[in-house]
Structure 1
């Protein structure tokens, strides 16, 4: 059910107010926040990988096998995080993977169902 003109104006006013009050939060809601989050996660994983290499080398120099094993496990875990994070990062201008599916088959939200019931009751009472 499309929004009325009044509802559309109210929605636009609320969006403008949100951008005016908290532009950082508003931009995070647009989807670019997901790209920033996954990119930051990849950078953290790369830094962790470098820490793992340092632990591996330190364990070999100090002849402590358990430190080398911990370093290797840190490297492995961070490599997995980096690869999975890099694959999930949406390209600039691209929608997140779940958004495309939602547009193909829109699910009716609970609010849509409530609104539809309300509209039906108003129509029934009007007759």
Structure 2
């Protein structure tokens, strides 16, 4: 079923508005396209546990400086858990799990949302005939 001109214009306007708002959100949220760095997470947990052990050891030995070192290690471990490395950035052209050298993968990644939906709609309509 085809859309009237008015409906098509409204749909195009809504789509442009959606893409504009999406672009605004992506620009204001730094790191929105990043993945979790599990290596830093695990390393941070280990550092926190070691720091906790040093802190407890410092309290048991009544050594203030050892307790402070343990606390600093725990703080550093927590900070390390939430660090997201630069190697985890996803570029706009690549999709996780695909090789960027594949020309088919690049063309599929560059295909906009509306183009994908239009292609899928056309495929669906051709299948009904």
Query: Which is helix-richer, 1 or 2?
Result: 1
TM bracket, shorter-chain basis: 0.3 to 0.5
What's the TM-score, normalizing by structure 1? 0.40
- TM-score, normalization by structure 2: 0.40
